Structure 1
Amino acid sequence: MSFVRRLLWLTPVLGAATAAVLLSGNSGISAPATAPKTELKTAVGLPISRVALFSSGVGYFARSGDVDGNVRVDLTFPERDINDLLKSMTLEDFGDGQVSAVSYDSREPIDRTLASFAINLNNNPTLGQILTQARGEQVEVVLQQNVVGQPGTISGKIVGLETHKSTSDKGATTDSEVLNLWCADGMRAVKLSDVQRLRFVNPTIEAEVRRALEVLSLNHDQQKKAVSLHFTGQGRRKVQVGYVVENPIWKTSYRLVLDKDGKEVPKVQGWAIVENPTDEDWNGVEMSLISGRPISFKMDLYNPLYVNRPTVEPELFASLRPPTYAGDLKKFAKAIDPMAAMMDGLSAPKPTAAAEPMEEKRALSGMRGRSGASRGDEEELLRDEAKRQLNLDAVQSAATAAKLGDNFSYNINKAVDLARQKSALLPIIAGEIEAKRVSIYNASVQAKHPLLGLRLKNTTGVHLMQGPITVFEGATYAGDTRVLDIQPKEERLVSYAIDLGTEVNPVVTTPNERITSVKIDKGIVTTNTRIRFQNTYQIVNRSPMDRTLILEHPNRKNEGFNLVETVKPVEETADLWRFELPVASGKSASLTVTEEDNTLSTIELTNSNDDQIRFFLAQTVLSDAARAKLNQALTIKGKCDQAERELAQVTAEIERITTDQTRLRQNLREVPPTAEAYKRYLKKFDEQETEMDALTERQKSLQTSVHQARVAYETFLSNLTVE
């Protein structure tokens, strides 16, 4: 268990170690100026000695070995791992030595590097563009032998380049670049197309061009980066470097064997799938597989980062610009990476005896291959095979399980050998597990049949990480399932096949709504309405075996529904209620699940009509006192309605007379005063005026009565309070 214990006690060491190990550019960080210079020997790269793989996509790798005296250890890493290396690397010298420096290949952007040379080779410059950059430099030019009128070799300083246009015999115009040189005998113009060879006389310029070409050449292979570790100390001692880099997650798969007769305890076998995606073989490494998921991220620490700076013109050529000042940046305490600290010094238990490889017996296939076997013999062999129990005892767990804080670790007991770009299956669990056969029904999964399943209880004593499970009954494949992470002693349902021998018919009844209570408070009626849903599950077991049915029903507690008049569920999840129901072979059963929701609603009586009050009077849950008060309210409302009807009749009569008088006035203007009709119209008009006066008085009286009745009704309702 030293592998795990060192993971914990070395956590505080990480901060000090990280601060001591300064990461630098190409040359690293040298020792203080007062320290004497030490001669470093180059040691062979440190082999991988320990590996801890996480289920979060990273792995901790430790390299260790012996060094002697002052040593520089050179290692190479893929470029994609450099950022993680710089973020998490820890160094240890177990012989009281010191880590003087860590240096690594820099990654200056190539365009910035090329721009730093005297001749800038960025953007694939032409010969003319290169010579333009070298104006004023002394060059030696060798011309082609067929150039007439020019010496074979010309030496001079570059003045510049220009473009000449020339016309061919056919009239075509072409451009040609001409190099102007200042020579000892004066100015010379040389076509670049006539130049066979050109050399810079200045050795500094020659060296700059050569270095720029080397940068271009090295940039072609950026897959590997060199990292040098500088150890200083006395004598032979052990050193170690640890780091966390990206790695494929390790996975688990299980085999579960059930006894057909149910007499033996089910057995489980767990395998870990690990991969070595590196370009280096793992030889004799100590390995731990950790089921936790520490937070891990990437950060660009490798690429040099530059801050854009403004260009400021001298005051001689530009007026002063208004300055701007940035605020003071807050200083944050340096946060130690908890994952890297936890990984520092990780070690595994001492290797023990290796587990023997599993060797399955294929007795049936071997017997079937015998020549001359009769049909009766084959049938007997098939019956024997059906009774056979798959034996997993040949594979023993090669790992020791241990609790590691909030995580769980499987420490492989034997040193692991795994070639580069290879994967392996490692046995980590082997033993018995508690399992009860059940049939699991969920209408949204399979509407007609439940699924054959198990109620697993993790009695292995170790954490079971999520993964697929292949289920065998005896020696026969029964199906596949998948399980999520299970803590020790935790129970979990799994299903692996359809139970064709059991059939379920869900019957859903129409929702029933009923008002259960009515309460009146100051004219506001509050009703409690009960909404009831009822689902009946009719089950038939046609199989030759008794079944224990786990029935899953949607849990709608977050919608306000609660179970009523229903057996208590054996389990309750955030989304489901689970009921357990035994169903004997050849028998039927049923389970009714009733859900109820109570909804409160309020109505203001002063804003409602008579029909609303009569609706409440029709409710059987209304108390006698409330019924009497509501009937009294209807009586008051009836008086108010009678007064309103009388007022409406008087108003209608006034409107009729007003309309008729308009007609009479029109007739009186048209008919002569001496006519008999005129006298008749005038008499009728006089009678209507007398009637209008009486109706107007009656209208005023009724308006007063209606107002008083309405006030009385509203006052009664607003003060009405009764249970």
Structure 2
Amino acid sequence: MANKWLLVAPVAGALGIGAGFGANELFAAGEVKQDLKPSVSLPLTRVVLFNSGVGYFSRSGDIEGDARVDLTFPESDINDLLKSMVLEDFGKGRISAVSYDSREPIARTLSSFAVNLTGNPTYAGIVGQMRGERIEVAVSPTAANQPGKLTGTIVGVEHQKVPVGTQAIDAEVLNMWCAEGMRAIKFADIQSLRFSNPVIESEFRRALEVLALSHDSQKKAVQLHFAGEGKRKVQVGYVVDAPIWKTSYRLVLDEKEKPYLQGWAMVENPTDEDWGGVKMALVSGRPISFKMDLYNPLYVDRPTVEPELFASLRPVTYSGGFGPEGRNTNGLALKAEQENQNRALRSMGGARAPGGAKGVAQGEKMLLADAPVGLDLRKDAAEFGRRINTGAVGNAATAGALGDFFQYVIDHPVSLARQKSAMLPIVGKDIEGTRVSIYNERVQGKHPLLGLRFKNTSGAHLNQGPITVFEGNVYAGDTRVLDVQPNEERLLSYAIDLGTEVDPKAGVGAHRITSVKAVRGIVTTVTKVTDEKTYRIINRSQTDRTLLIEHPNRTSQQFKLVGTEKPVEDTPEVFRFQTPVKAGETKSFTVKEERDVSSTVALTNGAENSIRYFISLSEASPGLKQKLETALKVKSAWDEQVRELNQVNADLARLNGDQERIRKNLRETPKEAEVYDTYLKKLAAQEKEIDALTARQKALMADEFQARKKYEDYLVTISD
């Protein structure tokens, strides 16, 4: 029974300073032993490349007893490795641990040492960190009043003004407590400095080692630890970045033979390891793949909480209860404490078990033993699903379906040196095909393209790629094909057909109203719009042609084909019409399309012209015309009221203007003048006339409102 582990996330083991630096551990059963045995080689046995930018790599081999396998990966692959690695032990063994080089931020690692070398500290900065440590200092013989060697304790570092000639400059000075008392030594006079404490010396040395190791970050070591007895097979598989595999095809056309299709897969080995006799499969599909940062240590800031402080209280004493109701409070406290311990164990993943730390360890083992075993990749043929409908393709590969994917299994082991590429044959079949000429006005306005309508009878999924076309032994052109499923038909074009010419001419077009309908005062007219295009074709070559005309598909604009031959194929972009053209023949092909365009008009009190237009349409029903004519009569009665009201308004405006003129004359005419009385009489007569017109205006306004309302109310009732 295989012990399988699906490595989906790193579980970092805590390593003490004395245990070394630069490794994380994945614990399989709560124990890690340092393996001092030589490493066992685990060769690469299977490679599966996807055209989505990843590859699956499988290593397998035999081990005996406890064994360690050392692998090396580029740092950029570690995240994918941690996300996808699967380990299997097929004998009586188990996965002990997986360890890998850490990527602890260098600043955080350096800050953990007693001597912090973060940020390139100065000489004085390093010494200043060690205040209180005993040191031995060798001083330059030229230093004034200083012995050759001093032993003492670091008090601190300060800046002082030191006279140099006639000037004073800043200098860093080390203050030491020596047997003779306090001494100040300029750092410029110090030749060497040594820490008396061997722990500090060790910390300094190891900090320098961490700095040196950080420079070589291109490769990371991964160690696989297997524990068990006897000889057995183990396997490790993982998914990492890989170049996509590409395809290219050769298509040979012959007048008497079926078209012959040859396909090649181009694979690359970008690794630093030779592939020797590996099983290889190429998968065509688009699996979802992403990257996640599982390698970099992540830290979360936590708040700092101050403990609450309470004033001290006097001890409280309690009296016992009365009779049997009294309870043992000590027993309750012990029970609560046991419950708290059990709750803590459950939160750590363990079960309720006595024995303190021993119970916790047992709980951890139980939790890991019940973990999901992950993906079973024991058999190479079942690693990516069961292949169905397999068949021989050429002499080098077997093709098969994997659900929504398709794979080519290379029939023979593949050897490919590192940093090398190879072309592997994957298809070699006769296919069904018919020569055609393909005309699309937007691609080439005058000539069609020589092409082939082929059916993928190769039995394999054809991955997208370029095709080089040969006419017999002569190069004929290049083309490109997208993914083609088995038994799917597809068009190819590879050259311009200079022997055939097409002249497209657009027709005048027509517009014809087909229906008029009214609903609650809203009249809808439907106009049939007709478009047509004629393709004039001439075949000047010595061979007959089968011409495919690609005409824009305008079904999204509600156009329908009418009076036109049914297309042999339609796509979301074009209709394809097929017509034979004999050698030397000239002919025309017309495509006619129609669509209905609807327009609506709301009949309002200002729609008289629209009403007369609808009455004139022969497509309007007699009932609708009668209702529209009645509307015009109602509109006429309203118009009469409007005319009378407008006349009264005009008369009032005229009288008001005349009165203004008379009043102005009265102000300028002496009262003794004879004309003064004439103006007064005329003004009085006009006042009486204005009163009569004002009354008439009020009555007409009411009548006009009623007439307008009657017309508007009638319009919204028109339906037919």
* Matched residue, 1:223: 218
* Matched residue, 2:134: 138
* Matched residue, 1:371: none
Closer, same or farther in 2 for the Cα pair 1:314/1:133, shift >3 Å? farther
Q: Over residues 455-508 of structure 1, what are the superposed CA-to-partner deviations in whole Å (9 max), with x where a residue is unaligned?
A: 121000110011111111111111111111111011111211122222222222
* Matched residue, 2:148: 152
Match of 1:88 among 84, 90, 101: 84
Give the aligned residue type for 1:269.
Answer: Q
Distance in 2 separating the partners of 1:425 and 1:527: 66
Give the aligned residue type for 1:157.
Answer: T
Match of 2:300 among 302, 307, 319: 307
Closer, same or farther in 2 for the Cα pair 1:697/1:311, shift >3 Å? closer
Instruction: Indicate the larger mover: 109-118 or 223-232.
Output: 223-232
Distance in 1 separating the partners of 2:3 and 2:524: 67
* Matched residue, 2:262: 269
Q: Structure 1 residue 651: deviation in Å?
A: 2.7
Q: Over residues 412-451 of structure 1, what are the superposed CA-to-partner deviations in whole Å (9 max), with x where a residue is unaligned?
A: 0111110000000000000111121122222222222222
- Residues 281-360 of structure 1: pairs in structure 2 closer than 5 A: 281-312=274-305, 341=375, 345-347=379-381
2:247, 2:466 within 8 Å by CA — same for their partners in 1?
A: yes
Q: Structure 1 residue 574: deviation in Å?
A: 1.9
What is the DSSP-based 3-state SS (H/G/I as helix, E as strand, rest coil) of the residue aligned with 1:606?
coil
Matching of residue 555 in structure 1 with residue 562 in structure 2: no
Give the aligned residue type for 1:307.
Answer: V
Closer, same or farther in 2 for the Cα pair 1:342/1:516, shift >3 Å? farther
Q: Structure 1 residue 217: deviation in Å?
A: 1.0
* Matched residue, 2:105: 109
Distance in 2 separating the partners of 1:436 and 1:243: 45
Q: Over residues 152-207 of structure 1, what are the superposed CA-to-partner deviations in whole Å (9 max), with x where a residue is unaligned?
A: 221111111122222332x3432222212211222222221121121111111010
- Residues 566-645 of structure 1: pairs in structure 2 closer than 5 A: 566-645=564-643
Distance in 1 separating the partners of 2:37 and 2:431: 57
Matching of residue 98 in structure 1 with residue 94 in structure 2: yes
Closer, same or farther in 2 for the Cα pair 1:684/1:205, shift >3 Å? closer
Matching of residue 200 in structure 1 with residue 198 in structure 2: no
Unpaired runs of at least 5, structure 2:
15-22, 310-346, 350-367, 384-392
* Matched residue, 2:506: 508
1:291, 1:407 within 8 Å by CA — same for their partners in 2?
A: yes
* Matched residue, 2:52: 56
Distance in 2 separating the partners of 1:484 and 1:214: 55
Match of 1:162 among 155, 158, 164: 158
Closer, same or farther in 2 for the Cα pair 1:308/1:690, shift >3 Å? closer
TM-score scaled to structure 1, two decimals?
A: 0.82
* Matched residue, 1:28: 25
**Cα root mean square deviation, aligned:** 3.1
Closer, same or farther in 2 for the Cα pair 1:134/1:712, shift >3 Å? closer
Closer, same or farther in 2 for the Cα pair 1:408/1:208, shift >3 Å? same
Distance in 1 separating the partners of 2:618 and 2:33: 104
* Matched residue, 2:477: 479
Distance in 2 separating the partners of 1:480 and 1:513: 45
Distance in 2 separating the partners of 1:191 and 1:674: 128
Closer, same or farther in 2 for the Cα pair 1:15/1:564, shift >3 Å? farther
Closer, same or farther in 2 for the Cα pair 1:652/1:342, shift >3 Å? farther
Q: Structure 1 residue 404: deviation in Å?
A: 1.4
The number of aligned residues is 643
Closer, same or farther in 2 for the Cα pair 1:103/1:522, shift >3 Å? closer
TM-score scaled to structure 2, two decimals?
A: 0.83
Matching of residue 209 in structure 1 with residue 207 in structure 2: no
Distance in 1 separating the partners of 2:287 and 2:640: 81
Distance in 1 separating the partners of 2:501 and 2:253: 24
Instruction: Indicate the larger mover: 443-452 or 402-411.
Output: 443-452
Instruction: Indicate the larger mover: 689-698 or 303-312.
Output: 689-698
Closer, same or farther in 2 for the Cα pair 1:657/1:306, shift >3 Å? closer
Distance in 2 separating the partners of 1:448 and 1:504: 5
* Matched residue, 2:444: 446
Distance in 2 separating the partners of 1:73 and 1:476: 55
What is the DSSP-based 3-state SS (H/G/I as helix, E as strand, rest coil) of the residue aligned with 1:43?
coil
Closer, same or farther in 2 for the Cα pair 1:717/1:172, shift >3 Å? same
Give the aligned residue type for 2:236.
Answer: V
Distance in 1 separating the partners of 2:132 and 2:448: 91
* Matched residue, 2:69: 73
Q: Structure 1 residue 17: deviation in Å?
A: 4.4
Give the aligned residue type for 2:471.
Answer: E
Instruction: Indicate the larger mover: 537-546 or 709-718.
Output: 709-718
2:8, 2:84 within 8 Å by CA — same for their partners in 1?
A: no
